[in-house]
Amino acid sequence: MFVYEKKLQYPVKITNPNPKYAQIIISQYGGPDGELGASLRYLSQRYSMPFPELKGLLTDIGTEELGHLEMIGAIVYQLTRNLTPDEIKRSGFDTYFVDHTTGVYPTAASGFPWSAAGMQSKGDLIADLTEDMAAEQKARVTYDNILRLVDDPDVREPIKFLREREIVHFQRFGEGLRLATDKMDCKNFYAFNPSFDK
């Protein structure tokens, strides 16, 4: 089960609303490399993990991603306070606004709603852990792109924190993959060892 902790993992306090930034950053809420997909990917993949270290790693990182989803929600929420119809039109936020007003909705910045098609749960530890490492890198690039587009330090600081977390998770997943291959058949040189047939 899960127990809510009534605080963010890292503070979010944005003084100046900016709907354009919100429209970009919403991609890390419900886009293809966003936090919702990350959390569901790891929390779903964990069931077929054969080793306790990997059950723990996927549970823990999947849980942390839920905290990141909450931070992104807080950023988008705070960026869309007190908007005027004129600001909404000028910023290009009107295409989001017409469907969701200023509600926080899991969608990619392109407008494509969150989809499980952006993730896998393959039931095979090598396939899944390799996907997880790629997923962390893709999320890191998305944060790099956000940092290329956003100047406001109030927004950049929590985004920089989240970017760092992707790097740490990539490191831990790499260790998890190495640990998995070490524990599998020692003749399994090319790291193929189907979980299903074991």
Partner 1 sequence: MTRGIILQRLDAVQFAMWELHLYMDTHPDDLAALSLYKKYEEMNEKLVCEYEEQFGPLYGNSDPGASWLKNPWPWDIGGSC
Q: Return the structure tokens found at 32.
A: 């293809």
Give the shortest CB-65-to-partner 1 separation in angstroms. 12
CA distances from 197 to 50, 190, 193 (A): 13, 17, 8
Are 25 and 79 a contacting pair, CB within 8 Å? yes
Q: How far apart are CA 172 and CA 175, in angstroms?
A: 5
How far apart are the C-alpha atoms of 119 and 116, rounded to whole Å?
A: 6
* Residue 134, token pair as written in the block: 């790629």
Name the site residues for partner 1 (rule: CB under 8 A): 3-14, 53, 56-57, 60-61, 64, 70, 73-74, 77-78, 81, 168-169, 172, 175-176, 179
Indicate the residue among 51 and 112 with the shorter CB distance to partner 1: 51
- CB nearer to partner 1: pick between 32 and 159: 159
If the CB atoms of residues 92 and 153 are measured against partner 1, the closer one turns out to be 153
Cβ distance to partner 1 smaller for residue 23 or 80: 80
Minimal distance, residue 32 CB to partner 1, in Å: 24
Looking at the Cβ atoms of 1 and 117, the one nearer to partner 1 is 1
Closest approach, Cβ 7 to partner 1, in A, equals: 5
Q: How far is the CB of 67 from partner 1 (least distance, A)?
A: 9
Concatenating the DSSP letter of every residue in 70-118 gives HHHHHHHHHHTTT--HHHHHHHTTHHHHHHHTT----B-TTSPBP-GGG
Gap between the terminal Cα atoms of the chain: 30
| Nearest distance, CB of residue 3 and partner 1, angstroms | 5
